[in-house]
Structure 1
Amino acid sequence: MGNQELTFHGLTIAVCSHVVQLLSIGFILSMNVFYIEYIDYFKDSATKTSLVNSIGIGTTFLIGSGTGLAYGPSVVIIGRYFHKYHTLVNGIASAGSSIGVMVLPPLYQVLIDKYGWKGAMLIIAAMNMHIVVCGCLMRAPEDRLQDLSPCEQPASVSSPDCEATADDIETSKFIDTGEVHIPNSEEASEVKILDKKTASSDESIGKKPSVHKHKMLSNFLSGSGIKLFRSHPFLLLMWFTNFISAVAYLAASVYMVAKVVSVGVTRLQASFLFTIIGICSLVGKIIHGSMVDCGKFPPLLMFSSHLFLAGISLMLVSIGGSFPVFAVLFVVFGYSIGVYFPVVPICLTKRLGVQNLATALGWVFLAVGLGDILGPPLAGWLFDISSNYNYCFIMAGTLDILAAVTVLLYYGFDRYRTKRQTS
């Protein structure tokens, strides 16, 4: 590790990121134990009831609202502080979500049994307020400003491509120092001159609306990161595969308890299946960092192979009939997701560079959000027309396998193209 990575603040960032992911992603995934409670309380179809969880989880990734505002920065900031051991520290930080899935579902079930689902929800909300404390401690390191994109940098070091007005600069000074600067008479006269120049430039812009619109469109495309899809087709691959794997993951996790309970397992036992998933995904997240850092296992190949394992295990859930069988299947599933999901930012960093990680990750989160919203209602619709949860898991497993094969084909073609270019 570099000097910056060994500082107390750098280690604090890693711990805070771990806690944020525990309380954010661990929280929203553990909320799936409430599905049966919603079914009993609202007495509606599986399709409609599943929307309660799918919308809550999907919007976290889709629009950066709620816990999404905490989770996204907790992933990106690891890349700002840790370069040499980025994969390892990213795995440790993302292990927070695994610990959350490991600990929270049984706790939620105990709270539901004792206080009802409404009382349990109030207690859970109070627990999640601890995210605020972690968020207050997160700040990008000073010596990594060169890794930021132009519009992410402070006004003093930003490039000419990202213009900032005097009001923007004063606002940033107020945010950083709490001081308000009142211009003197000389400065005020300078501001007037600038205003006249701005007015004249506005008139010239009015004469050339097409040029102005073209510039606005160009700025929008650059700021939103849409151009990354053209310059880096790899981002489109990650968008598609994360979308369908998100459909599969949430479709399976929302109906997991319902499926297991339908064959005679108690609700408390069923909630412990999430604990099994959490433990095994934690192992996967710790192991994957060491495997990638040693340089012998390409991250993209790890992503594909473990997506395939997850798909096979989900398909086999449809024929499970006892708690031990389900436990074994979810051991495999938990380990697989513990490897393939944390590898995503590593793959993006290696292919697109750390300067594009935040934007690329934002697009991937959009794909995950859409998949999370679509997955449970789609699986619920299959249950409503068949009265059988098995089809939900067959669909989920098939989608994971499709994603794995797509990535594997890309990986093989990319290696073939590289060999031809070097030969």
Structure 2
Amino acid sequence: MDTNVSDVLPNVRLEVTESTPLLSDNSSNSPPDAPKWRKAAIIACGLVQQFVSVGLGFGLSVMYPELINIFNSRRSNAALIQGLYMGLSTGGGILWAPLIQKYGPGKSVLVGSLVTCVGLLASSFAEELWTIILCTGVIAGMGMCTCYLSAFITVSWVFHKDPGVPLVCLTMGSSLGQFVIPYLYEICIEKYAWSGAFILVSGISLQCIPFGLIMYGAQEYFVTGKKASKRKSVCETSLLTDVLVWILLVNCLLVALTGNVEAWFIVDILMSRGFSRQAGSLLVSIIGAANFLGRVSGTFIKFKFTRTPTIAHWVYICPFIALAHALVISLEDYYAIMGACILQGAFFGVTNSQTPALMYEAAGHNRYPQAMSLVNLMYGFGNLLSNVLGGIIRDELGEYDLAFYISVCTALYMTFSSLVATLIIWRRRKEEETRQRWDGNYETVISF
């Protein structure tokens, strides 16, 4: 006698284990996976955005002592130019993140690069310092922030399956900009004075336009947070209640606040010790080169240790950064200072390269645009305060030593906070693995 399972267990509903394409397969509605050449082009576009946006900001450290002499200005006022530009270009993206998501990164890059060009060009006609603060610090900074943030969003949308290594690789563009563009400032100032230099560097921002067009043409491959998940998307406000996210955000704030004191002020420090502006400009570029090597190393570390939480590497990196800060301000010989700058630039480059990946690990794909906007906001506040506070310390105390001692202390603090964040991530992973095993056992019982 044949017995039907439904007759024995009338309340149990059986489902076919194989997927029915018409009912459960959403692949026809999902964007196609980008080919390798397209992904390579997207990474190249992101590298250019980072190269231009960050490079222009670090180049202002060469302009900094020149404008102090030309306008007979206090250092705290002149520092506002670089501070506002770096603060807004890295942190202002949180204001435009909804528009970038609505209209797309490509269009945002086109508009942002044009606005930046206008701001830098207008600075060349300034007759007082506050005009440059407004045009370069505010207008150019607000324009370039869309290019800076669009690079991260585009890469995360194209490499939506595993964006960790591409995001780390992306940050190498900023160190290349720090290496190349400051010395271009030096050449332009030497040949065409400060006003001519602003005219020439304004054209650098326009280099973002063709790469913005490439990003615009890749929209069919974008997988946003809503498309990437079949579950209900997590509310963005959950970022503000996540302890791990806050630990990482504070670390990012401190990185921007203290990590670039060498790059911001080394030109002025060396000139106050009797060295030339050219010698200081060379050190800014050397820091950029060391930073690039550090970012390459950070990319390799992320690729090699994929299962290790990214923030775990900060536990042993931050003490070396603290040591480098102490050496730079303590040494007197030019080549000894150069060695300390190389040490600082290399290890600082590793931490900077890993920031997008560690925030992706903490926030996930759905929340990543908002999370990266918060990271950039922390960078913005840190860059602004770093420049301004450094200028105030120099004006009031006659030297930058206090700024470097504060940097040493914050690097040591980040060592311990990174250890705490690592422990939290390991605990969450263990809890997630336990939950998945429980769900798997439960489904096995039901299937049986």
Q: Report deviation, 1:34.
A: 0.8
C-alpha displacement of 1:44: 2.2
Root-mean-square deviation (CA, aligned residues, Å) is 2.8
Question: In the alignment, which of 251, 270, 295 is matched to residue 260 of structure 1?
Answer: 270
Structure 2 unpaired stretches of 5+: 1-31, 94-141, 435-448
- Alpha-carbon distance between aligned partners in 1 of 2:297 and 2:34, rounded to the nearest angstrom: 21
The whole-number CA distance in structure 1 between the counterparts of 2:221 and 2:63 is: 45
Alignment of 1:113-262 (within 5 A): 113-139=190-216, 142=220, 144-145=222-223, 148-150=224-226, 222=235, 225-230=236-241, 232-262=242-272
Name 2:157's counterpart in structure 1. Answer: 80
Report the Cα offset of residue 70 of structure 1.
0.4
- Cα distance change, pair 84–310 in 1 and its aligned pair in 2 (3 A): farther
Partner of 1:364: 375
Indicate which of 31, 37, 49 corresponds to 1:8: 37
| 1:226 counterpart SS class | helix
Of 132, 140, 143, 1:66 maps to 143
Give the partner amino acid of 1:118.
S
1:221-370 aligned within 5 A:
222=235, 225-230=236-241, 232-295=242-305, 297-370=308-381
Asked whether the 8 Å contact 1:85–1:293 carries over to 2, the reply is: no
Alignment of 1:103 onto 2:180: yes
Over 6 Å off, 4+ runs: 157-162, 416-423
Partner amino acid for 2:205? N
CA distance in 2, matches of 1:396, 1:372: 13
Distance 1:417 1:60, change over 3 A: closer
Residue pair 1:109, 1:268 contacting (<8 A) in 2 also: yes
Cα separation, partners in 2 of 1:295 and 1:400, compared to 1, 3 Å: same
Aligned-residue offset at 1:347: 1.0
TM-superposed CA distance for 1:106, in Å, is 1.5
Alpha-carbon displacement from aligned partner over 1:212-270 (angstroms, at most 9, x marks no partner)? xxxxxxxxx94xx332222x321111111111221113444221111122223221121
Note the alpha carbon deviations across 1:360-406, whole angstroms, 9 max, x for none. 00011111111111112212222222111222222223223222322
- Identify the range of structure 1 (76-85 vs 60-69) with the bigger mean alpha-carbon deviation: 76-85
Asked whether the equivalents of residues 102 and 278 of structure 1 are also in contact (C-alpha less than 8 Å), the reply is yes
The answer on whether the counterparts of 1:313 and 1:332 sit within 8 Å (CA) in structure 2 is yes
Q: Which amino acid is 1:149 matched to?
A: G
Look up the match of 2:421: 410
Equivalent position of 1:20 in the other structure: 49
TM-score (norm 1): 0.76
**Is the Cα–Cα contact under 8 Å of residues 317 and 390 in structure 1 kept in the other structure?**
no
Shifted more, 337-346 versus 398-407: the winner is 398-407
Report which stretch shifted further, 76-85 or 8-17: 76-85
Segment of structure 1 superposing worse, 53-62 or 406-415: 406-415
The 3-state SS of whatever aligns with 1:256 is helix
Q: Who is 1:30 aligned against?
A: 59
Alignment correspondent of 1:186: none
**Does the CA contact (< 8 Å) of 1:60 and 1:67 recur in 2?**
yes
Asked if 1 retains the 8 angstrom alpha-carbon contact of 2:294 and 2:350, the reply is: yes
CA distance in 2: counterparts of 1:10 and 1:319, whole angstroms = 46
Please, which moves more after superposition, 406-415 or 243-252? 406-415
CA distance in 2, matches of 1:350, 1:92: 16
**Aligned with 1:93 (options 167, 170, 173):** 170
Partner of 1:355: helix, strand, or coil?
A: coil
The offset of 1:100, in angstroms, is 1.1
Query: Residue 138 of structure 1: SS of its match in structure 2?
Result: helix
Match of 2:78 among 43, 49, 61: 49
Whether contact under 8 Å (2:267, 2:284) holds in the other structure is no
Q: Sequence identity, in percent?
A: 20
Letter of the aligned partner of 1:369 in structure 2?
A: G
The amino acid that maps onto 2:47 is H
Q: Is the 8 A contact 1:59 1:369 kept in 2?
A: yes
Is the contact made by 1:22 and 1:97 (CA closer than 8 Å) also made in structure 2?
Answer: yes
Matched letter for residue 278 of structure 2: L
Q: Residue type of the partner of 1:388? A: E
Letter paired with 2:277: R
Query: Deviation at 1:418?
Result: 6.9
Q: Distance in 2 between matches of 1:420 and 1:90?
A: 26
Aligned-partner Cα distance in 1 for 2:189–2:328: 26
Deviation at 1:414, TM superposition (A): 5.2
Residues 14, 414 of structure 1: alpha-carbon distance in 2 compared, 3 angstrom cutoff: closer
Match of 2:407 among 389, 396, 403: 396
* Alpha-carbon offset, residue 282 of structure 1: 1.3
Q: Is the CA contact 2:321–2:344 (under 8 Å) kept in the aligned structure 1? A: yes
Name the CA distance, whole Å, in 2 between partners of 1:408 and 1:34: 39
* Number of aligned residue pairs: 353
8 Å Cα contact 2:172/2:353 also seen in 1: no
Distance 2:80 2:176 in 1: 25
